[in-house]
Amino acid sequence: MLDVIIIGAGAAGLAAARALLAAGRSVRVLEARARAGGRAVTTDVQGAAADLGAAWLHFARENPWTALAREHGCTVLEDEPNWGGATWVGDQPLSAEAQQQASAAYLRNHALVEAAAAAGHDVPVSTVIPDDEFRPRFDAVMTWAVGRPSEQVSTLDLGRYADSHDNWSVAEGLGTVVSRVAQGLPVSYNTPVTHIDHSGTGVVVHTANGTLSARAVICTLPTSVLARGAVRFTPELPPGHLQALHDLPLGVCNKVFFRYADSDLPGQGTQHSVGSIRTVRTASYCIRPAGQPLLMAYFGGDLSAELEASGQLAAFAREQLTSLYGADLVSRIQGEVVTGWGGDPWALGSYSAARPGRADARAVLARPVTPQLLLAGEACSATHYGTLYGAAQSGQSAAQQLLHTLQDTP
């Protein structure tokens, strides 16, 4: 019998596996996909590396994935993204005055959210932000940051999130880092889990490829997947954990990557821009993400989900880019890749956001279901959710809890 079965070979599952193996425990990671990484995956777009999911080393100086990237032969780019007031609108930078006004408005809105959170108010972000000329841009940023509209974002959850001042990228792709870290670990791919029976002294895990037994299990599947009932539990998860899964749904963010000859891309180096500051229904854009000869369109919230469902993500990006840069730039596209995280059966979204009034669901989800059954993942992190860092912290915490449990039981 194994000591621990880990379900999911994403950042949380791999972090848990590494911690348990380092402590001398026997481990098996079960992964439904044919690859590791979960919502972190890099693909090749005609020779250019594109991160389809997670792309940033947030909190980079303290983030263990930064060291892991370097240890596994990847190039960490210590360049801060020009988000905020320095972001261009279309193909033009804002004037110095407009940049100052945009930055001041964002800081004001952030302070309003912080004040509501400090007062213990767990209400929709939309109710504490003024409806002024800067509101559409703020609402758009919410969809990109947490994947959901401001009306569905909790002030308390957002206020608890730790500000990251070091946001670095990886030239070869962050998904490449995760994939390399998984090499050599005991991972069974193409092995979706269907049933977890924790009714006995150990745990029995049923998969599409057979049954395994262990003394304990760490389940790192996304909240939306578990909330939909993709895995059956015997006995059922406690009401508090079940409710927490529904209170932490995954928002939907998507990307479109257009491949270019580098000389056909405008400007020099990496540049971030937004399609419009007058509407929430816009994409944001990045020219040369992680230094690659690509133009990336980034979508979030309702617009992302709607365009994914209708197959119009690339068409929207092409149309908006034409209006911003002209038809010539769009005509020089050499290839494209489009994501579909909302419809991905093993993800059903991008990253978690607490419903208003439900910010404490993260703490509930992080509690052990039983001494031998724990849940882990970015949704369990109150301060670093939505990041590989938060996912890894959660996986390591679950592993440490099990190490104490296994030590105390025969």
For 160-184, what is the mean pLDDT? 96
- Residue 398 located in a structural domain: yes
Residue 308 CA to chain centroid, in angstroms? 17
Nearest to 274 by CA among 79, 158, 148, 139: 139
Is residue 315 assigned to a domain?
Answer: no
Rounded to the nearest 10°, the torsion over CA 57, 60, 65, 70 is 100
Average pLDDT over residues 344-372: 98
* Residue 287 to residue 303: CA distance in whole angstroms: 21
* Residue 88 counted as domain residue: no
Residue 150 lies in a domain: no
- How large is the average pLDDT for residues 338-354? 98
Assign 77 to helix, strand or coil.
Answer: strand
Share of the chain above pLDDT 70, in %: 99
Number of domains into which the chain is organized = 1
Region 339-352: mean pLDDT is 98
Whether 273 is covered by a domain: the verdict is: no
In whole angstroms, what is the distance from residue 221 CA to residue 13 CA? 9
Tell me, yes or no, whether 176 lies in a domain. yes
- CA–CA distance from 150 to each of 125, 134, 163, 195, 349 (Å)? 5, 14, 18, 36, 17
Q: What is the pLDDT of residue 86?
A: 74
Nearest to 5 by CA among 277, 150, 196: 196
Q: What are phi and psi of 4, to 5 degrees?
A: -140, 135
HSE, side-chain direction, 13 A CA sphere, residue 284: 26
Q: Is a pLDDT exceeding 70 seen at residue 324? A: yes
**Tens digit of each residue's pLDDT (9 = 90 or more) over 81-114:** 878 777 888 888 889 899 899 999 999 999 999 9
Distance between CA 116 and CA 260 in Å, rounded? 45
Taking CA atoms, 44 is separated from 124, 213, 293, in Å, by 39, 38, 12
Residue labelled with tokens 């590989």 = 388
Which of 386, 297, 292, 378 lies closest to 12 in space, CA to CA? 378
**H-helix or E-strand containing 294?**
strand 294-300
Rg, C-alpha atoms of the chain = 21
Full-model pTM = 0.96
Can you give the pLDDT at residue 91?
Answer: 85
- pLDDT at res. 308: 98
- The length of the chain, given as a count of residues: 410
Is the residue at 377 inside a domain? yes
Examine residue 316 and state whether it is found in any structural domain, yes or no.
Answer: no
Q: Which of 75-89, 127-141, 369-383 shows the lowest per-residue confidence on average (mean pLDDT)?
A: 75-89
**pLDDT band with cut points at 50, 70 and 90 for residue 165:** confident
Q: Residue 28 and residue 36: Cα distance in Å, rounded?
A: 13
Strands 271-274 and 284-287: antiparallel
Q: What does the pLDDT read at residue 410?
A: 61
What local confidence, expressed as pLDDT, does residue 94 receive?
87
Q: In this predicted model, what pLDDT tens digit does every residue of 30-89 receive, in sequence order?
A: 999 999 999 999 999 999 999 999 999 999 999 999 999 999 999 999 998 878 777 888
Q: What is the pLDDT of residue 73?
A: 98
pLDDT (mean) for 142-159: 97
Helix (H) or strand (E) holding 16: helix 11-22
- Per-residue pLDDT of 228-281, as tens digits, reads 999 999 999 999 999 999 999 999 999 999 999 999 999 889 999 999 999 999
CA–CA dist 406, 371 (Å, integer): 9
Give the integer Cα–Cα distance in Å for 253 and 86. Answer: 22
- If you average pLDDT over every residue of the chain, what do you get? 96
Residue 403: domain span: 2-41+55-78+169-249+355-408
Q: What is the CATH number of the domain that holds 70?
A: 3.50.50.60
